[in-house]
């Protein structure tokens, strides 16, 4: 049999063809791998998505600032005597005058009562009891100091359940509504006063508002 040798041009052509095939395989393999990587979801986004969709609750909790509550919890209680506002209507001013032995006194607070039985009197904000006393005219009285130079006073109490120096929380029962010699015909009631930076304010304007909103104007 006669041996035939391939021409150099043919050999080189074969080598080049093989090389092109190999390069093509490598190129398409790399392209397919990149396409697959791009189609995968981003790990960070997947984690965040799973965090919000897996029912996991955040450990960071926000707490709202305390708001002023009323000095009683009984729903039937109403205003007997209003806060005296020198800018108010004449009829409103008449209802805010306390008459004691022919002496007329402008009411610095609100007198709550109007029911036939006593009711619990509660602290309107967290604070410290600074005074507990029994006044012949005003009856049993509790004074509490709060933050932001706020002082509250609860007069005409029938029973007192706190003592001077107590640190008490908002809503703590400090006593029960009672009577005083200042207005004997009012029945069971509490005279609630609120003082901010040395000036009396009308509490009715600030219930359910935050401390930052309580001003002495």
CA 39 to chain centroid, in Å, comes to 46
Pairwise CA distance, residues 64 & 80, whole Å: 32
Q: Check: CB of residue 171 under 8 Å from CB of residue 72.
A: no
Q: What is the pLDDT of residue 216?
A: 63
Mean pLDDT of 94-120: 88
Does pLDDT of 124 surpass 80? yes
Q: What is the pLDDT of residues 160-214, one digit of tens each?
A: 999 999 999 999 999 999 999 887 888 999 999 999 999 999 999 999 999 999 8
Q: Phi, psi (5° rounding) for residue 77?
A: -65, 140
Mean pLDDT of 4-18: 59
Give me the residue spans of the domains in the chain. 8-53, 78-213
Q: Check: CB of residue 104 under 8 Å from CB of residue 112.
A: no
Mean pLDDT of 108-124: 95
Those residues whose C-beta lies under 8 Å from the C-beta of residue 90, and which sit 6 or more positions away, are: none
DSSP 35-100: HHHHHSPPHHHHHHHHHHHTTPPPS----PPPB---SB--TT-EEEEPPP-TTS-HHHHHTTEEEE
- State both tokens at 187: 């029945």
Q: CA end-to-end span of the chain, whole Å?
A: 122
Q: Which residues pair with 150 in a beta bridge?
A: 146, 196
Q: What is the pLDDT of residue 160?
A: 98
Q: What is the pLDDT of residues 27-80, one digit of tens each?
A: 555 555 555 455 555 544 444 334 434 454 544 444 578 899 999 999 999 999
- State both tokens at 49: 């998505």
Q: What is the pLDDT of residues 12-21, one digit of tens each?
A: 666 666 766 7
Those residues whose C-beta lies under 8 Å from the C-beta of residue 55, and which sit 6 or more positions away, are: none
Give me the helices (H) in 40-100, please. 43-53, 90-94
Pairwise CA distance, residues 145 & 131, whole Å: 9
CATH topology for 78-213 is Glucose Permease (Domain IIA) (2.70.70)
Q: Exposed (0-12), middle (13-18) or buried (19+): which is 102, by Cβ within 10 Å?
A: exposed
Does pLDDT of 111 surpass 60? yes
């Amino acid at each position: 049999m006669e041996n035939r040798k391939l021409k150099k041009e043919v050999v080189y052509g074969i080598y080049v063809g093989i090389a092109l095939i190999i390069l093509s395989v490598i190129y398409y393999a790399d392209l397919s791998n990149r396409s697959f990587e791009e189609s995968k979801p981003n790990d960070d986004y997947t984690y965040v998505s799973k965090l919000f969709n897996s029912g996991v609750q955040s450990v960071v909790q926000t707490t709202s600032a305390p708001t002023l509550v009323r000095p009683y919890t009984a729903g039937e209680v109403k205003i007997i005597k209003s806060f005296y506002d020198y800018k108010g209507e004449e009829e409103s001013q008449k209802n805010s005058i306390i008459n004691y032995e022919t002496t007329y006194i402008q009411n610095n607070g609100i007198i709550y009562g109007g029911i036939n039985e006593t009711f619990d009197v509660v602290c309107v904000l967290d604070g410290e009891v600074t005074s507990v006393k029994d006044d012949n005219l005003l009856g049993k009285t509790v004074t509490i100091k709060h933050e932001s130079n706020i002082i509250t006073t609860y007069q005409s109490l029938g029973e007192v359940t706190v003592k001077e120096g107590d640190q008490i929380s908002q809503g703590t029962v400090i006593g029960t509504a009672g009577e005083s010699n200042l207005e004997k015909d009012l029945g069971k009631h509490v005279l609630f006063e609120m003082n901010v930076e040395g000036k009396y304010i009308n509490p009715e304007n600030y219930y359910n508002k935050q401390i930052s909103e309580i001003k002495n104007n």
